[in-house]
Every structure is written in C-alpha cells, then in structure tokens.
Amino acid sequence: MPQMIDGPQAALAGLPGDLADAPDWSDEALRRAGLPVQTVTVTSVGGGLASFALVDQLRIRGLPAADVAVVTDLATPYQAFRRYARNSQLGDTDRIRSDSAARIDNPWGFPSYAMEEAVDELRPGPLLRSLTEPVLATYFTPRAEQVYAGIDREARRIDWPAMVRPGTAAAVRRRAGGGFFVAWLPTGSPGLRVLRSTVVHLGIGHSGMDFSEAALDYRQRTGDRVRVVHAYEPHEHVYRTVTDLGGGTVLVQGAGITSSQVIQRLADDRRQHGLSTRIVQVTRSRPEPEVAHTGRRPRRDGIATQPFSAPRSAFGGQLHQRLERSRGDDRRALDELIARPSTADRRRWRRTLARARSEGWYTHVTGELTSVEPSSVDTGQVLIATCSPDRHPGDAPAPNDTVLGVDFVIECTGTANRWEHHPLVTDALRLADGETGTDGALRVDPSFALAGTRDPATGGALYGSGAELDRGPLGPRDSFWGMTFAAHRMADDLAAHGLCRSLGPLRSVAAWLRWVRERPA
C-alpha cells in the first residue's frame, strides 16, 4: 500500500514556481534549480510485485540493470503483500490462493510450485495432485514462504538491489524533448532528486483499506481503532483479548477468503483454549450478475466459492478473451462477475463451519451493516444493527433489522482503490488527458500504456499495472498471473518500439536455462 506522506509533496512545493506547477520540465530548468538528474531507460514507481514482474521481464530480455530504476520504500517486493497476508491470518507456512504455475518469479511457469515442492521434499504427492486437479484432487496451491523464497532468489539473480532507489516518488512530468521525469525524495534526505527516463511504469498498489460506511462512521465519531478493526491492519489484540476473557462475540463482515481465514483463526483459538467465542458473519445479498454463456459459481452456506480469486477462465481463458473483446454494459457485467468476493471451498473450512453450526456458536446474517454504536448496557460491547438486503446505511430502522451485542467488529471488506487524491495518479491523468476508469483508476490500452502518453520521439509511454488500474483488458489485475501477464504485454510493446529485445523462442529457451541454473540475467 503506498504511503501518502507529506515529505515528497512538501519538497515538490518548495521548487521554483516554473517547476512545481509546470506540466513539462526541461533539462535546463532542472539544472537551474540544482536538482541532480540520473538517466535510465525505464523507471518503475512502487517497488512491489507489479514492479518486480515488469523488471524481471525486462532483465530476462537483456535490458541491463543500469538502465532500470525502481523507486520504492519497500524492503522487498513482497513486503506489502506479506503484511496484508499476516494481518489477515495467512502465515508464511499457510497456502495462498494462487495457481501452481502462476509464478511471479518465473514467467514461464515451469517448473511449477507443485513440481518444486515435490523435488524439495522428495515426495511425489504435490506433483500428482497438480496433474490430477481438479477432477481427482483439489487445486494445488503454494505455501506463502515458497513464493517469498522464489522472489528472493530471482531478485538476487536479476540484481534487484542495484536497481532500487530507496525513497518515495513525488511527481511525474513530461520531458521537453522526449521522455519523462520522475521526481523522488530519497529516504532520510531533505532534497528531491530526478530520474530522466524514456519509460515510466506505475505499480503503486492499493490506495488503502475498504470499510463499510457504518464501521467507518463509528471509527471517525469515537476514534476507536480497537473494537472496530480491518482484517488488513494489525489486530492481534482482538484474538488476545478474546482469549484472555475466555470468549466473546465477534462480528466478521465479508464473504471473501479473508473472512474465512479470520473465522478459522477464531475457531482454532476457541478449540485450543476452550473458549466460549461466538461468531457472527455478515454478508451482503449478492445475486450473481446475468452474463450470457457464463456459469454461476457454487455457493456453500450462502457464500460463493471458487478455487482462486477470480473464475478460472478469467486467467487467460474464455472469460479473459471475452473481457478483452467486450465493451460497454457487457464489459461492466463481466467486471462485476470477476470482482465478486468468494472463498476457497477447502475441506478444513467446511469442517469448521459444519461443527460451528451444529454447536450453535456461528451465525450467518445476510444484510448490510448499518450502524455501530457504543453499548449503553455494557461498555465492553458495541451494538451492531444489520438490515435486510434491500436497505442501506442511513435508512430508517425496520422491524426486520437484526440487532446484536458484540465485543469486536472485524471488517473483511477488502482494499479500496480510490485514487482521486493520489499525486502520482493525478499527474498520470494529466499526462493522459484525463483518461480515467472507475473510482479514478488508470485506464490503459491492451499494451497497458495510458492513452495519450505515447511519446512519438522516443516510443516510450507511461504504463501501469496492478491494483491502481481500471479493470479494462484484464480482470484479476492484481493477481500473480495478472501482474505477470501485464509485464509480458508491456515488454512486448517496448520491444516493438526498440526499447528492449523481443523474446522469441530461442532467446526464451536460453533465458529459461539461465533461470534454472540461477545464472545472472
């Protein structure tokens, strides 16, 4: 998640007037301002998995590390992902919801995570499971630590540390004469520096955490960040407090994989410590959108289930092809289908819910969380009102509202992608002549270049990939597969403009052999 801090913007505001507000910068103006300038071919801003996927693709195609700069405040490309995962109760040894061949550290996808695990552990089980999925076995998914280790290994191979510029980007500007400038503030430094490059890539991730209106209103009114929390922020105190008290009532809002992980943690603590914990799960009523020739997802206990974060065919299959070809209402319907929350139908989760329902300590409520108020009876609780599916926050109370006394609310409502006030997205939209998608997200063409940013002099452009994009030509845009797919498309486009090498069969095989032997790219 990008950090919206005042330092870079304050430093930018301190520049001379002809630079701070100018849409275009010149080499001479930067020289007069005394700003140090470094020239590279590609600058990627973000330094997370989207940046890593693109840089890895470019290094595989032979672009020297000296021609690439990555502006980031992350220690590793997976730092933000790992933070979200750990907060949402996905430990390093747990399996993530990703396909065996969706390797962000290996664009070829071979060997897969299943094959790698089978070789490392000297047992054929993972490979046999991968070969027989999903008919005879459920889908194989890798452990988080396996993903992290692979990224660390590939980062060493492509010399990632040499390309990193520790700091925060402040602005993106066109360069008079061709190309772009990225102004950035190094970590621990009071002065801006500038990267001059032919290509700029934005991979700045999510804008923050999404809260329901009721939970956000409660937090803003009371300042309470202890009783009402988001699953993606640190909230270990919830589990400790419930354990210390011998139990309690926890409301979990959401229908995605994160809610399943939080419920599993609460259930495990209940069993291990003999607690009297009660769980209430609140999910919105979400009928599947009517999309022609698209099957409905199965549901278990009222919650949609599917193996991965999007329908399987959205990852390079029929649904992905339809999305690329579609326009207007059909595209919006497909977007809606792909974005719907779901959870993995795992055996352990099924057993947990079955036991919880039979023992009476789990309740599923379909509706909308409409209010969170401090309890007038017991200051250790807050009252939660959930309404029928046809009501919204702020509506008048209705007789069929469900009112519950709970100790904690854990929001599992995902991430927010609202970019209207992000300075880099504002700059990008200005360069793209205001081309924007939903919620201020960046709209890109099939090569993931922003419309209107192509530089005829150099062939470069402003590209984007990852969570900050409008769905456009890609549904699961912030998945491992989605970021790798976007990186391949961007690199192909750069090769077509002579900015890197194309990846033909012979070069691809040679590059893969270097990857297998862990030879430098």
Quote the pLDDT of residue 437. 57
Q: Provide the 10 A C-beta neighbour count for residue 271.
A: 12
Residues 6+ apart with CB under 8 A from 264: 89, 348, 349, 352
Q: What percent of the chain has pLDDT over 90?
A: 60
Task: For residue 486, give the nearest of 452, 459, 521, 446 by alpha carbon.
Answer: 446
262, 231 contact by CB (below 8 A): yes
Q: Provide the 10 A C-beta neighbour count for residue 435.
A: 17
Rounded distance between C-alpha atoms, residue 241 and residue 193, angstroms = 47
**Domain residue spans of the chain:** 6-92+144-207+418-516, 97-142, 209-286+341-415
The pair of three-digit structure tokens given for residue 333, joined into one six-digit string = 């319907």
Q: Please indicate, yes or no, whether the overall pTM of this predicted structure exceeds 0.85.
A: yes
Task: For residue 90, give the nearest of 102, 242, 98 by alpha carbon.
Answer: 98
- Domain 209-286+341-415 in CATH: superfamily? FAD/NAD(P)-binding domain (3.50.50.60)
Work out the end-to-end distance of the chain between its first and last CA atoms, rounded to an integer number of angstroms. 29
382, 374 contact by CB (below 8 A): yes
β-bridge pairing 228-230 and 249-253? unpaired
What are the strands, taking DSSP E only, across 137-290? Answer: 164-175, 180-186, 193-202, 208-209, 228-230, 249-253, 278-283
Residues 6+ apart with CB under 8 A from 359: none
Quote the pLDDT of residue 34. 92
Per-residue pLDDT tens over the stretch 46-104: 999 999 999 999 999 999 999 999 999 999 999 999 999 999 999 999 999 999 999 99
DSSP 68: E
Task: For residue 50, give the nearest of 134, 151, 142, 168 by alpha carbon.
Answer: 151
Q: Which residue has the tokens 């040894």?
A: 93
Given a cut of 70, whether residue 324 has pLDDT beyond it is yes
Residue scoring higher pLDDT (182 or 312): 182
Given a cut of 70, whether residue 498 has pLDDT beyond it is yes
158, 65 contact by CB (below 8 A): yes
Topology (CATH level 3) of domain 6-92+144-207+418-516: FAD/NAD(P)-binding domain (3.50.50)
When computed from its CA atoms, the radius of gyration of the chain, rounded to whole angstroms, is 24
Task: For residue 41, give the nearest of 73, 64, 71 by alpha carbon.
Answer: 64
Which pLDDT band, with edges at 50, 70 and 90, does 4 fall under?
Answer: very low
Quote the pLDDT of residue 89. 96
| 6-92+144-207+418-516 and 209-286+341-415, same CATH topology | yes
